[in-house]
């Protein structure tokens, strides 16, 4: 690689290297983004936080990371993914390091807000990786990149050991150091993406902000966002809600519920790569149809009363059936996550940053707001399965909207 970020290898070698380095970087970013899942529990005890204060602290990186995606996506298009990705990682690493020295609740909220940049890196990676690959391989590439979600499981498995041995501050310092090192490795081992290099050679002036955001007027962008709200936001929400649900409904121990939640998260992230491959082979539209159809059936089954005790009705579902159907749902949600992002470079090749950013933002906000909605519904109705009733509603609306939109497109004249 040249100092200016240009390539010295073949296009195929360059593409493979960019994909794997970006995926590794996103895995580390995602591990940092979910750090409060582990250290937040000890901080809650240390500061004596109530449930609402703890929920805000744990959700702050999710919120800021989601909101930052649209801006980071646009910056990636304008200034190149190599520099934006690197600066994003270094900025998040600094915030994570400073978190270790925060002593008050407002300081921790501020640090949490800033380290949320690590989650915003998803929009950067999508806009950076896509131009390296032809359209027929972009689904596979983005599916592999998105599998970096497995970083959440890395934190769940490793952080408790560091926390018990050295304290939560050590977790923040080590995770910050690893992220900073990752950012430096990324900068010194990658090239600028082909689309950015081409614009630089032509000496194109960056598009105005209004032109960058022009595609957001298209209703189709928001339809894709709803798909991602369910497939990504719903997946994250269930991963967070599942331990509480299994303990409260079926009487699982906290340890067993936690292991099941981890088992649900890991395959769900890895199968996203398969969703990308499948989207390239049979088309993202077919994958979305399968995802939403199966998810409709699965959430309907999960909305049934749980079989607990002798008074359970004939339609009640046992814990075994619940877990099996839940894993089926998680598998198809992972396929759907990949299919959504296969659509974006196909429909908006010149606005991947803005469109990918807003879709990612809406998905991330789903991961923030859905667990809150689950809790409110449980309090209002007293029904544990009310969370799946809400997801069923979201899926059905998505499926109907998708089907009607596709039928409308098919009815258009060929010359339109």
Contact 26, 145 (CB under 8 A): yes
Whether residues 353 and 229 share a domain: the answer is: yes
- Asked if residue 123 belongs to a domain, the reply is yes
Separation of alpha carbons 65 and 72, rounded Å: 10
Domain final residue pick, 144, 163, 194? 194
Q: Looking at the predicted structure, is the pLDDT value of residue 415 above 50? A: no
- Asked if residue 415 belongs to a domain, the reply is no
User: What percentage of the chain exceeds 70 in pLDDT?
Assistant: 94
Whether residues 26 and 116 share a domain: the answer is: yes
Whether residues 188 and 226 share a domain: the answer is: no
Whether residues 176 and 284 share a domain: the answer is: no
Predicted pLDDT of residue 168: 93
In the block, tokens 């100092």 appear at 3
- The arithmetic mean of pLDDT across residues 334-354, rounded, is 91
- Asked if residue 209 belongs to a domain, the reply is no
- Asked if residue 297 belongs to a domain, the reply is yes
Distances, alpha carbon 158 to alpha carbons 118, 152, 163, 284, in Å: 18, 10, 9, 35
Contact 95, 382 (CB under 8 A): no
Whether residues 181 and 282 share a domain: the answer is: no
Separation of alpha carbons 75 and 94, rounded Å: 20
Whether residues 130 and 250 share a domain: the answer is: no
- Asked if residue 207 belongs to a domain, the reply is no
Distances, alpha carbon 364 to alpha carbons 67, 77, 172, 214, 359, in Å: 8, 21, 22, 22, 9
pLDDT (tens digit per residue) in 9-21: 688 889 999 999 9
- The arithmetic mean of pLDDT across residues 355-373, rounded, is 91
Whether residues 264 and 156 share a domain: the answer is: no
The neighbour count for residue 248, using CB atoms within 10 Å, is 13
Predicted pLDDT of residue 110: 96
Whether residues 167 and 236 share a domain: the answer is: no
- Which residue segment(s) compose the domain that 42 sits in? 10-194
Whether residues 132 and 166 share a domain: the answer is: yes
The number of folded domains in the chain is 2
First-residue to last-residue Cα distance in the chain: 45
- Asked if residue 3 belongs to a domain, the reply is no
- Asked if residue 346 belongs to a domain, the reply is yes
- H or E element: which one contains 6? none
Whether residues 370 and 313 share a domain: the answer is: yes
pLDDT (tens digit per residue) in 207-236: 777 777 788 889 999 999 999 999 999 988
pLDDT (tens digit per residue) in 269-296: 789 999 999 999 999 999 999 999 999 9
What ranges in 130-253 are assigned the alpha helix state H? Answer: 135-146, 151-166, 168-189, 194-201, 209-212, 219-228, 235-250
CA dihedral over 160, 161, 164, 169, signed as positive or negative: negative
In the block, tokens 């050295």 appear at 166
The neighbour count for residue 129, using CB atoms within 10 Å, is 27
Whether residues 37 and 126 share a domain: the answer is: yes
Whether residues 179 and 241 share a domain: the answer is: no
- The arithmetic mean of pLDDT across residues 121-131, rounded, is 93
Residue 311: HSE in the Cβ half-sphere, 13 Å Cα cutoff: 0
- Asked if residue 70 belongs to a domain, the reply is yes
Q: What CATH number should be reported for the domain holding residue 398?
A: 1.20.1250.20
């Amino acid at each position: 690689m040249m100092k200016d970020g240009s390539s010295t290898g073949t296009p195929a070698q360059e593409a493979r290297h960019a994909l794997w380095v970006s995926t590794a970087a996103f895995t580390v970013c995602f591990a940092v983004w979910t750090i409060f899942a582990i250290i937040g529990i000890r901080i809650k005890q240390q500061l004596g936080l109530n449930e609402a204060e703890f929920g805000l602290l744990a959700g702050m990186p999710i919120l800021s990371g989601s909101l930052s995606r649209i801006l980071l996506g646009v910056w990636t298009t304008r200034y190149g993914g190599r520099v934006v990705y690197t600066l994003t990682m270094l900025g998040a690493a600094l915030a994570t390091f400073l978190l270790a020295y925060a002593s008050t609740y407002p300081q921790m909220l501020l640090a949490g807000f800033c380290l949320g940049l690590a989650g915003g890196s998803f929009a950067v990676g999508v806009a950076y990786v896509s131009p390296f690959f032809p359209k027929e391989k972009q689904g596979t590439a983005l599916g592999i990149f998105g599998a970096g979600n497995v970083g959440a499981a890395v934190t769940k498995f490793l952080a408790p050991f560091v926390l018990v041995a050295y304290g939560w501050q050590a977790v923040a310092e080590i995770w910050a150091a690893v992220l900073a090192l990752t950012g430096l490795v990324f900068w010194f081992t990658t090239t600028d993406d082909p689309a950015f290099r081409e614009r630089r050679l032509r000496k194109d002036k960056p598009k105005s902000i209004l032109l960058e955001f022009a595609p957001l007027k298209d209703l189709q962008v928001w339809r894709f966002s709803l798909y991602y709200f369910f497939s990504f936001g719903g997946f994250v929400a269930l991963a967070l809600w599942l331990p509480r649900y299994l303990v409260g409904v079926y009487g699982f121990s906290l340890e067993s519920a936690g292991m099941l939640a981890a088992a649900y998260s890991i395959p769900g992230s890895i199968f996203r790569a398969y969703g990308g491959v499948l989207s390239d082979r049979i088309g993202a539209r077919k994958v979305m149809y399968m995802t939403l159809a199966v998810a409709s059936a699965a959430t309907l089954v999960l909305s049934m009363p749980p079989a607990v005790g002798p008074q359970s009705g004939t339609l009640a579902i046992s814990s075994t059936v619940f877990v099996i159907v839940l894993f089926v749902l998680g598998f198809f949600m992972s396929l759907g996550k990949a299919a959504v992002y296969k659509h974006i470079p196909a429909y908006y090749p010149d606005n991947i940053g803005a469109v990918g950013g807003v879709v990612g933002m809406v998905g991330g906000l789903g991961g923030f707001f859905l667990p809150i909605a689950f809790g409110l519904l449980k309090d209002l109705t007293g029904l544990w399965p009310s969370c799946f009733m809400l997801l069923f509603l979201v899926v059905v609306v998505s499926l109907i909207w998708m089907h009607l939109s596709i039928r409308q497109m098919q009815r258009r004249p060929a010359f339109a």
